[in-house]
């Protein structure tokens, strides 16, 4: 494979993708927000036409879900219109566009995992803007790969969100000695190094279309938090609650588990169970904490 450009290279998934490409010996150019503003279409054109990549991996997004409800124009600028421009530009250059999307394109009214061909029904501005971006990718760029995932967490943390769910739980547990977490939102938390490795595999296989890629299994946020503290600090109490106890600007799907149907039926290996991935995350986090003396 020739050159790859990773947009959002300093983010939670982007940083793991860069590490994965480096391990595989694949030439790539990491571009962070300071290198390129995806909403500045003229800058995007200038940078990408100069680099002439064979593959563009777009991990950028405006994904503060509640804030999206208030900043609709910004949501669509990043998650939709910038993606449209990328799709047009990649089509023009003959490049493959790999675009990362979300389980929030679904409405949560299904009682079994969502397959790639299930009809979307987003409940919030974030989900609608991401779905609109997907449509532009599909219809404007012939060589494309859309990867939907769910509940991402990685050692880099999400710089936009100021951490990830695991880190938020650990901070609250440390400060309060107890946390309350919802039982009525079910998903699959996904470890970004595992996701990055599968994206690299799909790109090398020249996979086309939409794929769901998540860790194995599913759980509620409450079950996820309980497992976090079982591994890190069992003295922290985890209390079950419901979404009604945490009113928010954005509606969230009650059930957004993704069926990795295409991976399974096309002969790709599936990601390990979320419990195993979380155990590795916690072990690596302990190692980092020890090396930093904290």
pLDDT in tens, 174-212: 999 999 999 999 999 999 999 999 999 999 999 999 999
pTM for the model: 0.94
Domain 4-159+189-216+251-273 has CATH 3.40.640.10: no
pLDDT tens-digit series, residues 6-65: 999 999 999 999 999 999 999 999 999 999 999 999 999 999 999 999 999 999 999 999
Does pLDDT of 130 surpass 70? yes
The whole-number pLDDT of residue 111 equals 87
pLDDT at 155: 87
Beta bridge partners of 144: 97
Mean pLDDT for the stretch of residues 262-279: 97
pLDDT band at 291 (very low <50, low <70, confident <90, very high): confident
- Tell me the average pLDDT of the chain: 94
Q: Which of 81, 104, 126, 281 is catalytic?
A: 126
Radius of gyration, CA atoms only, the chain: 19
Q: Is 114 a catalytic residue?
A: no
Q: How far apart are CA 263 and CA 101, in angstroms?
A: 16
pLDDT bucket at 156, cuts 50 / 70 / 90: confident
| Predicted local confidence at residue 163, as pLDDT | 78
Exposed/middle/buried for residue 287 (C-beta within 10 Å: 0-12, 13-18, 19+)? exposed
What pLDDT sits at residue 157? 60
């Amino acid at each position: 494979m020739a050159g790859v450009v990773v947009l959002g290279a300093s983010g939670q998934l982007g940083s793991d993708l860069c590490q994965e490409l480096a391990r595989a010996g694949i030439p790539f150019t990491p571009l962070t927000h300071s290198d390129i503003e995806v909403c500045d279409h003229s800058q995007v054109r200038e940078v990408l036409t100069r680099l002439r990549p064979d593959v563009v991996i777009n991990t950028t997004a405006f994904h503060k879900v509640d804030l999206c409800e208030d900043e609709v124009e910004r949501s669509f600028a990043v998650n939709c219109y910038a993606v449209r421009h990328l799709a047009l530009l990649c089509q023009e250059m003959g490049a493959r566009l790999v675009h990362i999307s979300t389980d929030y394109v679904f409405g949560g009214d299904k009682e079994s995992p969502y397959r790639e061909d299930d009809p979307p029904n987003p409940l919030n501005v974030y989900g609608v803007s991401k779905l609109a971006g997907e449509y532009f990718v599909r219809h404007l760029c012939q060589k494309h790969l859309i990867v939907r995932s769910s509940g991402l967490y990685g050692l880099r943390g999400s710089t936009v969100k100021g951490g990830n769910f695991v880190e938020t739980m650990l901070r609250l547990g440390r400060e309060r000695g107890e946390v309350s977490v919802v039982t009525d939102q079910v998903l699959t938390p996904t470890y970004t190094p595992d996701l990055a490795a599968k994206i690299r595999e799909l790109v090398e296989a020249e996979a086309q279309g939409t794929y769901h890629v998540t860790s194995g299994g599913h759980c509620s946020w409450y079950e996820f938090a309980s497992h976090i503290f079982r591994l890190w600090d069992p003295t922290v109490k985890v209390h079950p609650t419901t979404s009604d106890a945490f009113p928010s600007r954005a509606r969230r799907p009650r059930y957004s588990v993704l069926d990795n149907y295409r991976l399974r039926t096309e002969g790709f290996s599936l990601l390990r169970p979320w419990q195993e991935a979380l155990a590795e995350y916690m072990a690596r986090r302990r190692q980092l904490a020890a090396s930093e003396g904290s």
